[in-house]
């Protein structure tokens, strides 16, 4: 393997690394977008379970210190 081959290989690796990072950012952005939509769009089930959790936390007697 010549020095020219090594340099070409390193250049290709750098290009692939840049492409991989871009791809990861796009995937992460897509997941963040999905989570944001899910947070802002409560389903009846999640709404009901939220009420149940609030009721449990509000109605339980407090522990004495």
Q: Does any domain span residue 65? A: no
pLDDT tens for the chain, residues 1 to 65? 899 999 999 999 999 999 999 999 999 999 888 888 888 776 666 666 767 767 766 665 656 55
Q: Does any domain span residue 64? A: no
Q: Does any domain span residue 62? A: no
Q: Buried b / exposed e across 28-61, counting CB within 10 Å, b at 16+? A: eeeeeeeeeeeeeeeeeeeeeeeeeeeeeeeeee
The domain tally of the chain equals 1
What is the model's pLDDT at position 22? 94
What is the model's pLDDT at position 57? 64
What is the model's pLDDT at position 11? 97
Range of the domain at 28: 3-56
């Amino acid at each position: 393997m010549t020095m020219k081959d090594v340099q070409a290989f390193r250049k290709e690796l750098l290009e692939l690394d840049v492409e991989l990072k871009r791809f990861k950012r796009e995937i992460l952005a897509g997941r963040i977008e999905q989570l944001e939509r899910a947070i802002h769009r409560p389903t009846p089930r999640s709404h009901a379970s939220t009420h149940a959790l609030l009721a449990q936390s509000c109605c339980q007697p407090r522990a004495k210190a």
